[in-house]
Amino acid sequence: MPTTEQSVIAIICEQYEKKADDVTPNKNFADDLDIDSLDVSDLAMKVEDAFGIIIKDDEVEKIVTVSNLIDLVGRKLAAKKH
């Protein structure tokens, strides 16, 4: 079973036709991956569907790097278990 990080990166790669080697946690969506804030918003919806979580608009605004998104998904999944 893939980790949360692997799953999030797979979604990014599929959605934006990126290579997995190019999408690492330290990458900035806008600066490194050419994914703008509107695209990040769309990506958040894909991630919500994939993981069965809800990401609020104010949380989406704070997603700047791949690790921001991975960490947010991890926190949401942990909260779901409680």
For residue 82, what pLDDT is reported?
Answer: 75
Domains in the chain: boundaries: 4-75
For residue 81, what pLDDT is reported?
Answer: 82
The listed CATH number (1.10.10.10, 1.10.760.10, 1.10.1200.10, 3.10.620.30) that belongs to domain 4-75: 1.10.1200.10
With left for phi above 0 and alpha for psi between -120 and 50, is residue 40 left, alpha or beta? Answer: alpha
For residue 69, what pLDDT is reported?
Answer: 98
What is the Cα Rg of the chain in Å?
Answer: 12
- Please state the pTM of the whole predicted model: 0.95
For residue 73, what pLDDT is reported?
Answer: 98
Tell me which residues of the chain have a pLDDT lower than 50: none
Residue in the structure block whose two tokens are 């999944």: 77
